[in-house]
Amino acid sequence: MSNSMLDTLTDPVNDPVVDPVILAASPKCTEQEACAIAAMFDIHPEVACDLGSERDRTFLLHDSSGAAVAVMKVSNAMEDPATLDMEATAALHACAVDPSLPIALPWAVPGGRGHRARWTDGDNVHWVRMYDAISGHGKRPAIELTDEALVDWGTVTARLGRALRSFIHPAAIRTMPWDVQHTLTCRPMVPSISDPAARALVTRTLDRFESNVFPRWPMLRAQVVHGDFTTDNAIVDDRGRVVGIVDFGDMSHTALLTDVASLLDSLADGRPTDELGRVARLVLDGYQRITPLEPLELDLVGELWAARIAIGIAIASWRTELGLQKSAFGSRYQDSAVELLDGLLTIGWEALAAQLSSSHGSGEPADLIKRRSEAFGPGIEDLSYNEPLHVSHGDGAWIVDVDGRRYLDAYNNVPCIGHAHPRVTEAIARSSRRITTNLRYLHGSAVELAERLTAACPSTLDTVFLVNSGTEANDLAWRLATTFTGNTGGLCTRHAYHGVSSAIAAFSPETLRPEDMPSFVERWHPTDTYRQEHLDESSFAAAVERLARAGVAPAMAILDGVLQSDGVYDLSPALVQQWVAMTHAAGGLWVADEVQGGHGRTGDAMWSFSRFGIEPDVVTLGKPMGNGHPVAAVITRREIAECLAARTVFFSTFGGNQVSVAAAHAVLDVLEDERVLPRVVATGGALRAAMREVAADFDCVGDVRGIGLANAIEIVQSRSTREPDRETALRLKEGLRQHGVLVGTTGPAGNVLKVRPPLAFNESHIPTFATALSRSLADLHTRIDPQ
Ligand code: PMP
């Protein structure tokens, strides 16, 4: 091939030179000659069948009985011997790493001269290699592969990639246009595509590659890969499953994903457009059983797939035009490949990425809001904010919306150690990759979690139940309490929230209309530290008294130790101790609901009840326990659990499953490793100081209070009246959102701003919060009093 042709094949960015092998013709070698050449490997076949190859000659050799004895490859004259040596060592390496991979291995040349023997066809020197013949079907049409086979192909490809992970060879650094890494070297070949429609499809694909894939290519995982694991290079059994991997001739150091691209190109051949997503997902499922793809890889896999098809069309057209290839060999690329590429482009890049990563739920906000209300009906709570937050992802104390705007999250306590903490996400992924079962099977992680939880509690609390939500935990607490005490009444604070089940909704007056308040639950006023009301036990005593008058004794009194729904107050330990004693005196159990206050929220201890110097009879955990993954627990005394056990058996399908347990362990680990509790104390103190400083000039801020990172700003009509001002609190919440900070509102009058960030919120976030608060307050003032 002329040098000028080589010169035209340059990558516009990297300017590499194409491997000359792509330009050279196949060796001239007859089937009779092939039988004779085989003697160099000490075999004497009777028949040689040409298997067809793009640039080499490959023969299946049979002995006189017709049995296949070996596969012989006569290489293209331009083939670099170093590349051939790489192929041989790579096959041997992969087989050594994963011995059950069915790789066709190269034969050593008799006499110990490596794996290639020299042969000349008169003009050119060719290297000859001999491989094990694997029995099975070669070049099976992809359309015949069953779904099970598609998954298997994905798995084998991933195993092959894994087996080559530790392989390196200088010859792997090469510029092969087949390697998707060098897609853009195909540009000069595009004019050879005779069909204008096909040419347009290839051009669109290359343009997309250049603008969207090429810039991100350096971020993709790279290694030496097989690069051409396709139906042309595999032997399959009757069920279409891979029993032989052949031809390492396209190996190079490139993105791992190029293996997937060539696989999809091959396996989707002949499938209709509406099947492409499903076929690719099955292949990817198989692949990801071994090697999960990274988010960027999932984003780009469809585009690499398209690029690989485009490369195929361009190279085949170009080689055909130059007479290097019979047009019959290239015709696949003018027909089914064009159809396949057309199919992918019809789906569209974004939709393709969504289909391949199985992501759901795209849509414009207005449409989604409508669909949300149609799908869920009126029963669920409204979206927050006048203009709902359309979230995309989170990171530490930040939430990012679909438009990329970052919000400082000062509201969500569930992602306690921070949004998307890698320890938790990885624990969940790793664990779910292994197994998810239930507590009927023995697994140590659930046992260890229970041990860790009891170790973090007073020694009397020695028994754990694992459940799935705060509601379930409280529901079980109620069941334990009624069973143990024989009583049927309950006590909770006057604006409490403890959950949604029938039993626990009765303990959630925050969500009940006055006329729906059940008669078996009485409510008491916790201390309002701002107004200095309910400082003693009289409200509690009156609630017990009301129960008694109704002929009911309390089975339990339940308290959220940070009073999130009642308005966030710091209670006096002496008073709480009195409440506990009065509950016990009335025959009830004390339930510490740590769904809000637990897992380090207060900073001074793991559980908020510790600050009161009490020993609850039952502790319930939820929300932060799995950092967003649903997992919850009840911790109690053995005698209380025994009482339930005497009557029934407790089993929760998901309670204690390995994945939830892994999430819960990860949270506990991070709380320790990052020394979260002391950080919460320091951050909480600094945050309150900053809030007080900002609020000092604003008469509508009546009180700033809190414990650790459970904080509140109480909004009033004026400091002199201390009258709650719900409207202004809501406007501030909206204003803060406009300034990029998320808070909520709470309290019986809805006038308390709830500042309850993930515990990943640290002192570095305070200036952002303080600035937004100051601006929101100033905006309010401007609007109220425009002078
Ligand atoms: N207890 C408290 C104190 C809560 O705040 C909540 C939830 N807000 C629950 C229980 C109920 O938890 P879940 O929503 O997980 O059922």
Q: Are 591 and 617 in contact (CB under 8 A)?
A: yes
User: Which residue's CA is the closest to the ligand 1 atom numbered 2?
Assistant: 498
Q: Please, what are the domains in the chain?
A: 3-356 (3.90.1200.10), 371-417+675-787 (3.90.1150.10), 455-650 (3.40.640.10)
Q: Output b/e per residue, 385-402; b: 16+ Cβ within 10 A.
A: eeeebeeeebebbbbeee
Ligand 1 atom 5: residue of nearest CA: 596
Q: Alpha-carbon distance 524 to 518, whole Å?
A: 14
Taking the centre of ligand 1 as the mean of its atom positions, its distance from the CA of residue 746, in whole angstroms, is 14
What three-state secondary structure class fits 156?
Answer: helix
248 close to 95: Cβ distance less than 8 angstroms: no
203-221 pLDDT, tens digit each: 999 999 999 999 999 999 9
The span from the first CA to the last CA of the chain, in angstroms, equals: 83
Q: Residue ranges of the alpha helices (H) in 464-537?
A: 470-485, 502-505
Q: How far is the CA of 744 from the centre of ligand 1 (A)?
A: 15
At 354, give phi and psi (nearest 5°). Answer: -65, -40
**Tens-digit pLDDT profile for residues 353-388:** 999 998 888 889 999 999 999 999 999 999 999 999
Pocket test for ligand 1, best of 468, 492, 498, 629 (most atoms within 8 A of CB): 498
The answer to whether the CB of 507 falls within 8 A of the CB of 479 is no
- In the reported structure, the alpha carbon of residue 256 is separated from the centroid of ligand 1 by a whole-number distance in angstroms of 45
Ligand 1 atom nearest to CA at 472 = 16
Nearest CA to ligand 1 atom 13: 470
Counted residue by residue, the chain has a size of 787
Dihedral (Cα; 236, 240, 245, 247), 10-degree rounding: 80
Place of tokens 């997503």: 277
Per-residue model confidence as pLDDT tens digits over 279-333: 999 999 999 999 999 999 999 999 999 999 999 999 999 988 888 776 655 565 5
* 656 Cβ closer than 6 Å to some ligand 1 atom: no
Q: Is the CB of 106 under 6 A from ligand 1?
A: no
Distance of CA 301 to the CA centre of its chain: 16
Q: Is 399 helix (H, G, I), strand (E, B) or coil?
A: strand
* Residues contacting residue 2 through CB under 8 Å, at least 6 positions apart: none
Residue 732: burial class (beta carbons within 10 Å; 0-12, 13-18, 19+): buried
What DSSP character marks residue 293? P
Q: How many CB atoms are located within 10 Å of the residue 91 CB?
A: 27
Report strand pairing: 137-138 vs 234-236: antiparallel
Residue 223's closest CA among 153, 288, 161? Answer: 161
Handedness of CA 393, 395, 396, 399 (dihedral sign): negative
Nearest of 630, 637, 621 to residue 653 by alpha carbon: 630
Q: Which atom of ligand 1 approaches the CA of 560 most closely?
A: 3
**Amino acid 744: pLDDT:** 97
Q: How far is CA 649 from the centre of its chain?
A: 35
Per DSSP, helices labelled H in 116-256 are: 147-163, 196-208
pLDDT per residue as tens digits for the range 661-697: 999 999 999 999 999 999 999 999 999 999 999 999 9
Q: How far is the CA of 650 from the centre of ligand 1 (A)?
A: 21
Strand partners, 118: 127
Q: For residue 649, how many other CB atoms are within 10 A of its CB? A: 6
Query: Is the beta carbon of 474 within 6 A of some atom in ligand 1?
Result: yes
Q: How far is the CA of 409 from the centre of ligand 1 (A)?
A: 19
Residues of the chain with pLDDT under 50: 1-17, 783-787
H/E element holding 466? strand 463-467
| Per-residue confidence (pLDDT) for residue 605, from 0 to 100 | 98
Token digits for 578?
């009195």
CA-CA distance, 201 to 341, in Å (whole number)? 7
The alpha-helical segments, DSSP class H, found in 240-294 are: 257-267, 273-290
Distance 186 CA to ligand 1 centre (A): 59
Ligand 1 pocket check for 622: Cβ under 6 Å: yes
Q: Which atom of ligand 1 is nearest to the CA of 622?
A: 15
* Adjacent-strand bridge partners of 224: 253
**From residue 244, how far is each of 284, 417, 449 by CA, in Å?**
20, 48, 45
Q: For residues 731 and 783, what is the distance between their CA atoms, to the nearest angstrom?
A: 11
Which of 414, 427, 322 is CA-nearest to residue 624? 414
CA dihedral over 353, 357, 358, 364, signed as positive or negative: negative
